[in-house]
Structure 1
Amino acid sequence: MRVYVAGGSGELGRRLVPRLLERGHQVTATVRTPGRADAVRAAGAEPVVVDGLDAAAVREAVDRAAPDVIVHQMTALSAKPDFKHFDRWFAVTNRLRTEGTRHLLAAAEAAGVGRFVAQSFTGWNNARTGGPVKTEQDPLDSEPAKWQRESSAAIRFVEQAVTTAPLDGIALRYGLFYGPGASQSMVEVIRKRQFPLVGDGGGVWSWIHLDDAAAATVAALERGRAGVYNIVDDEPAAVSEWLPYLAESVGAKRPMRVPAWVARLLAGTAMVQWCTQARGASNLKAKHDLDWQPVWSSWRDGFRHALIEQPPTAEYGRDR
């Protein structure tokens, strides 16, 4: 198939493009700056420099590529997390999930694209009630923290827009990414003991290695049915379980424990809720419908063996 990857130079895009090429697909991958085009071209894909928020440019790029499938992986996060001002940290990504999605869907309709696969998320946005693990049928959080409302609305928008569009629309709710390129900042914070255990650490997180996320995306593109899929590993875990393990895995001291009220002052309500009330996600639907199985089925093995090793090339990572 002819595949248009919007966001082809991001951490997930850099793993996705080689997999698509290995499967025999013809790939056009977008980059935000000309400096990233050479790496895409060297991998065997056709690069195109385009601003995902420029409707006319997106329309022209999609028309020129004439794809069978569009994969929307556009994000724009700064390197340093800012949980206290979450929506400000995600401001451009939220625009890409709203305006950018509109532009891509309009271009897809005009070009007669048959399938559209978009990045979504599962984690802090799950409803903080009921059991610790949620399926795709469970509701999202109807009352997110004040500084996550815009981000929550953007996630809802991309899912609804894609799955109700007049094409095969698939939204992939990825868990927390880890792996080379996605873990360095968190590892640095943990080594500095700046990521404490908050309260009882009872919030449940679901993780996914970038390589497994890329493999699931290919599976969804090739054989998924319209709808929503959780793309996570097999072992949702409480912060009180995975955080000390991660610290030990990277040779850091055991995280300090702080009361929730202290963490709220330092990091904001959003982070406290995520660490104490979050719900994880089930991957059973994706495993069954997509015939997909994560290689790193547990974050335990992934943290030990596939966390921050550098990919074979500095410019454009290859899969395991």
Structure 2
Amino acid sequence: MTTIQKNQSVLLAGASGVLGRHITHVLTEAGHKVTGLGRSRNNGVSADLMDRDALLRAVDGHHFDTVIHAATALRKPPVRDRDMHATDALRTEGTAHLVEAARLTGARRFVVESMVFGYGYGDHGDRPVTEGDPFGPQGTTPRLERHIAAMRTKERLAFESEALDGVALRFGLFYGPGGTDALLPLLRKRQLPMPADHGRVLPWVELTDAARAVVAAVERGRPGQAYNIADRTPLGFRAHVESVAGAFGLPKPMTVPLWLMKPMSYAHTVMSSRLRVSCAKAEHELGWTPRYPSSLEGLAALRSADR
């Protein structure tokens, strides 16, 4: 593992989001100084990533050692493909603007939140995908290519930007404090039908574990490298939601056929996918391991904290 400067000054785009709040807390605990960047006036730097000129004016005169891109336009889980479009734009134009801002502040390190779906949606079989596998392959449909191209572009901008040491974290699906809460009223009212998994599994990661990986990338990530970040227990979408129901004593979701989800185009794509990833590289190079090896432990901790 390569260790770089401690006690860094960090600019965090997306600090007010669910993951961003966890990142802020863990970075601060590790001794770093975090400045939030976002449209809210509660941020230390108030600017919209999509407004290049306003962003550059907002950061002018500031200095940061590291810039983190964890901004998302999502306020709830995406259901239709159009729900992802604003986040796709943040991954492309927003990243290009933030790269310019990072250079203007004199930053050396640029860490981006990426996703395991950048390996492609669909059935990847039972072999765990590693960082050596192709990332950002051509999408099988125009609508999927739009999402994959955005993830491909975000990483390329991080890795190829002159004077910046780019690091990408390819996260599994998030759950945990601030992320799982939205499911509870839907389960309580039995308004969250789910198809059977039929052997389909996906990588998951608890939000505080994800935030710890960001700190590890800030301190020890190798420039130009990507790292898979997920727990040790891939689960189907339904199996995960059933675990949420069990942890909180709520009814299990009703079972519906997968085809019935087709109008919910993005959710249907995710629930139709099968993907396992290896996190051996993150464990070896970042010294990161999940505190919660499965949703079972992570949800039990969440339930305990709610009592």
TM-score (norm 1): 0.83
Tell me whether 1:30 sits opposite 2:37 in the alignment: yes
SS in 2 for 1:21: helix
Q: Is the 8 A contact 2:120 2:148 kept in 1?
A: no
Residue aligning to 2:260: 262
Residues 160-181 of structure 1, C-alpha deviation per residue, up to 9 Å, x if partnerless?
1112222210111111111221
Does 2:162 correspond to 1:155? no
Q: Does 1:7 align with 2:14?
A: yes
Map of 1:127-166 to 2, 5 A cutoff? 128-140=123-135, 142-144=138-140, 146-166=142-162
CA distance in 1: counterparts of 2:127 and 2:201, whole angstroms: 7
Counterpart Cα distance in 2 of 1:261 and 1:90 = 21
Q: C-alpha displacement at 1:202, in angstroms? A: 2.8
Q: CA deviation at 1:298?
A: 1.4
Contact 2:113-2:168 at 8 Å conserved across structures = yes
Is the contact made by 1:125 and 1:144 (CA closer than 8 Å) also made in structure 2? no
Q: Aligned residue for 2:195? A: 198
**Unpaired stretches in structure 2, ≥5 consecutive residues:** 1-7
Identify the residue that residue 98 of structure 2 maps to in structure 1. 104
Separation in structure 1 between the aligned mates of residue 147 and residue 157 of structure 2, nearest angstrom: 15
> Structure 2: which amino acid aligns with 1:241?
A
Q: State the identity as a percent.
A: 37
SS across alignment from 2:182 = helix
- After superposition, the Cα gap between the structure-2 partners of 1:65 and 1:308, relative to the gap in structure 1 and judged at 3 Å, is farther
Q: Which aligned segments of 4 or more residues in structure 1 are displaced greater than 6 angstroms? A: none
Q: How many residues align?
A: 296
Match of 2:89 in 1: 95
Instruction: Measure how far apart 1:11 and its partner are.
Output: 1.2
CA distance in 2, matches of 1:212, 1:307: 16
1:70 equivalent in structure 2: 67
CA distance in 2, matches of 1:116, 1:159: 10
Quick one: which amino acid aligns to residue 75 of structure 1? T
1:54 equivalenced with 2:51 (yes/no): yes
Conserved? CA contact 2:113–2:171, under 8 Å: yes
Q: Which residue of 2 aligns with 1:297?
A: 293
Distance across 2 between alignment mates of 1:61 and 1:52? 11
Q: Secondary structure at the match of 1:280?
A: coil
Counterpart secondary structure, 2:60: helix
Where 1:198 maps in the other structure, the secondary structure is coil
Name the counterpart of 2:4: none
After TM superposition, the structure 1 = structure 2 runs for residues 180-259 of structure 1, keeping only pairs within 5 Å, are 180-226=177-223, 227-239=225-237, 241-259=239-257
1:308 Cα deviation from its structure 2 partner: 9.0
Letter of the structure 1 residue corresponding to residue 159 of structure 2: T
The offset of 1:126, in angstroms, is: 3.4
Letter matched to residue 133 of structure 2:
D
> For residue 129 of structure 2, what is the amino acid of its counterpart?
K
Structure 1 residue ranges without an equivalent (≥5): 38-46, 312-320
Letter in 2 for 1:7: G
Offset, 1:29: 1.4
CA distance in 2, matches of 1:188, 1:133: 34
Report the CA distance shift for 1:54/1:310 in structure 2 as closer, same or farther (over 3 A): farther
CA distance in 2, matches of 1:295, 1:238: 21
